[in-house]
Amino acid sequence: MFVIGITGGIGTGKSMVAGIFRSRGVKVLDADDISREVTGVGGAALPEIRGLLGNKAVDTDFSMNRKYVASLVFSDRTKLDQLSKIIHRHVLEQIAVELEAEKEKGTKLVILDAPIPVRKGFLDRCNQVWVVSADESIRLERLVARGMDIDDVKRRMSMQMTREEYEDLADVVIHNDGTEEDLAQEVDKHIAAQLHERGIRI
């Protein structure tokens, strides 16, 4: 089984790249989706999150109170790191379970879509890492167009790895400064170069 990790900063379009694979029938494990599961109603991470951030961090429906938690952690790097550590551990445990299940089924290709390329549980499980990269001004435009507040976007971007740090991890860099059609062509180019020679056709 060949595992490609797709990563990149907020607004780069990594989820669009994962979506291209998904639309072609490839199994995609989305760390954000799994994160929502482990912090959703009755999620496995909630007791630890309550212990870290207090009772208000868990809503009346027994899911994480996202608005309250965001108000705490995005202005406090230490709390953000502690929260991330809790959630990441649960997400990575779930990814390990799902990868093993796909391997047993004989799946040839799996995509791991993760915004934070942690070494243990992500990088060490990938045969290749594909980093989606874009100019900061373009990322800002995209996120503001989605309705996000520009100051909030800048704050979140400042807490992520730099473009150079992401690209240093890459086996493949996908540049996404253009249109969706440009991105699809770029992805197809790398699929041909990296997967066809391995006998993987999608």
For residue range 84-134, list pLDDT tens digits in order: 999 989 999 999 999 999 999 999 999 999 988 888 889 999 999 999 999
Tell me, what's the pLDDT at 30?
96
Sign of CA dihedral 2, 12, 177, 181: positive
List the structure tokens of 175: 């540049």
User: What domains can be seen in the chain, in order of their start residue?
Assistant: 2-195 (3.40.50.300)
Entry pTM: 0.86
pLDDT score of 155: 87
Q: Which two tokens stand for residue 41?
A: 């109603």
3-state secondary structure 140-170: HHHHHHCCCCHHHHHHHHHCCCCHHHHHHCC
For residue 74, give both structure tokens.
């995005």
Distance, CA of 82 to CA of 80 (rounded, Å): 5
| Six-digit token string for 172 | 């493949």
171 secondary structure, DSSP code: S
Report how far residue 140's alpha carbon sits from residue 146's, in angstroms, rounded to the nearest whole number: 10
CB 193 within 8 A of CB 29: no
Q: Which residues of the chain have pLDDT under 70?
A: none
Phi, psi of 89 (to 5 degrees): -60, -45
